[in-house]
């Protein structure tokens, strides 16, 4: 019962290592986190099926912390064919349980090793790992929330189960993490945490980074114009709306082709939808592509289009912008942060149709001077987001959290209560001894 952000890497598990992820930072000679033992808890890891932006974020942060001297364990679920333990990019990977059991097994794993870690990054992809209940009071816990998931619960689950998810994400997590610094990736998500979940903890915004852009060989795409969708093929991304552009704009722009890069459970349905609309020849489902091929397609498109109804940020928006490709997206939380309306793309407002905004964007981009202006703005905007900056901010926050965690431990010790027992009593309704 968890969800994560977007990526073009979705579908069957790749058993061979994918290319190393980009990271600007190298080992800091002063190693500000030398000796720090960290556990990063995340629903998935980047090589798993339907892995997305949340996994990329957690992994890039893990790599950065390792470069700063920390010893990092990345604890996640396990898919068929994957090893239970391995070392990758200097990070210790520990995999256990399926998409449901992971939320039971990871806290148990952490409980048995509760004295081994100084800091835990607890990624709440709809459901948290409840780490404050099992670690020592002196262990710093940072809660990482990409976006509020209440609408996703109702979109994918029966009403009763959606209500359970909303209760855990809201009142339960709000109480459990009330004293733990929370990280989110956009101002929209921060606002949603405050207003929709009534979040009590301090919140810091630490945006996603963006892969370093390397030159790509020209890759002419069928279509004039050609638009691209990059990401997972899952229901809430509403990729069928992007596929439908070939039909909706077929009369006014008969040369328009739609290129879909990514994989996921909706792939077959999208192919069937294109055939049903009679545009199968102008819709290209590329599936999973290597980083080089993906960048070649993305960099050759005129326009990136996403129809997602909720995001924490919009990692693929920044990926496209790095190649000078603007994005059309709906005016929803996260995407309204990653798309600068009228500057690096266009937002579909209430009452507007996606096809109309895409048509208007194509018209603007037909002017060479306007297109060059937008391309420059896109590249400049993407240049503001690097994984090095993301990691450096997380390093600073962790360094600040460790002394604070020590103070919490001393307070708990003076009260004569182990840290996890006080939080457990609080969770079941007893008075907090501190």
Domain ranges of the chain: 37-209+388-415, 226-382
Calpha distance 184→196 (Å, rounded): 14
Closest CA to 426 of 181, 202, 132, 166: 132
Residue 205 main-chain phi, psi, to 5 deg:
-95, 120
Instruction: Name the superfamily (CATH) of residues 226-382.
Output: Glycogen Phosphorylase B; (3.40.50.2000)
Say which residues have a Cβ less than 8 Å from residue 95's Cβ, sequence separation at least 6.
45, 75, 76, 77, 78, 79, 82, 83, 84, 85
The number of helices, as runs of H, and strands, as runs of E, in the chain is 16, 14
Sequence-distant (6+) residues with CB within 8 A of 141 are 119, 120, 122, 131, 132, 135, 177, 180, 405
d(CA 375, CA 345): 10
Nearest to 399 by CA among 33, 148, 145, 21: 33
Which residues on neighbouring strands pair with residue 38, listed in sequence order? 72, 119
Q: What share of the chain is helix, strand, coil (3-state, %, to 5)?
A: 40, 15, 45
Cis before 405? omega within 30: no
Which residues of the chain are under the pLDDT cut of 50?
Answer: 1-27, 407-434
CB of 151 within 8 A of CB of 309?
Answer: yes
H or E, element range at 391? helix 387-414
Q: Do domains 37-209+388-415 and 226-382 have the same CATH topology?
A: yes
pLDDT score of 412: 43
Report H helices in 137-266: 150-156, 159-167, 173-176, 187-196, 239-243, 245-248
- pLDDT tens digits along 158-206: 888 889 988 999 999 999 999 999 999 999 999 999 999 999 999 999 9
Distance, in Å, from the CA atom of 142 to the CA atom of 231, rounded to the nearest integer, reads: 28
Query: With contact defined as beta carbons under 8 Å apart, do 69 and 90 qualify?
Result: no
Q: Write the pLDDT tens digit of every residue in 221-254.
A: 888 999 999 988 988 889 999 999 999 999 999 9
Q: Which CATH architecture has domain 37-209+388-415?
A: 3-Layer(aba) Sandwich (3.40)
Distance CA 212, CA 346 (A): 24
**Nearest-angstrom CA–CA distance, 140 and 33:** 14
Q: How far apart are CA 57 and CA 290, in angstroms?
A: 19
Residue in 299, 239, 302 with CA at minimum distance from that of residue 274: 239
Amino acid 333: pLDDT: 86
| Order of all β-strands in the sheet with 91-95 | 85-88, 91-95, 71-76, 37-41, 119-123, 140-144, 182-184, 203-205
Answer whether 0.85 is exceeded by the pTM. no
228: three-class secondary structure by DSSP: strand
């Amino acid at each position: 019962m968890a969800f994560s952000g977007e990526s073009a890497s979705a579908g069957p598990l790749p058993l061979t290592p994918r290319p190393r992820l980009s990271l600007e930072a190298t080992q800091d000679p002063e190693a500000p986190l030398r000796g720090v033992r960290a556990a990063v808890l995340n629903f998935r890891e980047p090589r798993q099926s339907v892995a997305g932006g949340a996994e990329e974020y957690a992994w890039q942060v893990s790599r950065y912390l390792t470069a700063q001297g920390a010893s990092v364990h990345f604890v996640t679920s396990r898919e068929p064919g994957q090893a239970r333990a391995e070392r990758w990019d200097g990070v210790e990977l520990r995999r256990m349980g399926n998409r449901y059991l992971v939320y039971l097994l990871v806290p148990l794993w952490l409980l048995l090793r509760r004295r081994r870690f100084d800091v835990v990054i607890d990624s709440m992809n709809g459901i948290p790992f409840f780490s404050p209940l099992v670690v020592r009071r002196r262990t710093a816990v940072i809660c990482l929330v990409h976006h509020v998931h209440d609408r996703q619960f109702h979109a994918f689950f029966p009403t009763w189960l959606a209500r359970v998810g909303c209760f855990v994400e809201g009142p339960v997590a709000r109480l459990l993490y009330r004293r733990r610094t929370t990280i989110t990736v956009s101002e929209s998500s921060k606002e949603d945490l405050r207003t929709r979940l009534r979040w009590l903890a301090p919140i810091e915004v630490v945006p996603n980074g963006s892969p370093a852009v390397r030159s790509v060989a020209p890759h002419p795409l069928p279509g004039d114009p050609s638009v691209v969708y990059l990401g997972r093929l899952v229901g809430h991304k509403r990729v069928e709306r992007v596929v439908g552009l070939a039909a909706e704009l077929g009369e006014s722009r008969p040369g328009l082709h739609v290129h879909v890069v990514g994989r996921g459970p909706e792939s077959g349905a999208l192919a069937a939808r294109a055939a049903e609309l009679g545009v199968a020849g102008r819709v290209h489902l590329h599936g999973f592509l290597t980083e080089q091929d993906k960048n070649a397609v993305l960099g050759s498109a005129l326009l990136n289009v996403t129809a997602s109804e909720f995001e924490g940020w919009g990692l693929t928006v920044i990926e496209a912008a790095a190649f000078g490709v603007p994005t059309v997206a709906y005016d929803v939380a996260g995407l309204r942060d990653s798309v600068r309306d009228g500057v690096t793309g266009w937002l579909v407002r209430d009452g507007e149709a996606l096809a109309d905004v895409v048509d208007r964007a194509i018209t603007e981009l037909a002017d060479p001077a306007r297109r060059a202006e937008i391309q420059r703005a896109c590249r400049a905007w993407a240049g503001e987001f690097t994984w090095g900056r993301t990691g450096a901010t997380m390093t600073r926050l962790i360094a600040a959290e460790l002394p604070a965690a020590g103070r919490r431990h001393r307070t708990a010790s003076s009260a004569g209560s182990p840290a996890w027992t006080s939080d457990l009593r609080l969770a079941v309704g007893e008075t907090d001894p501190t």
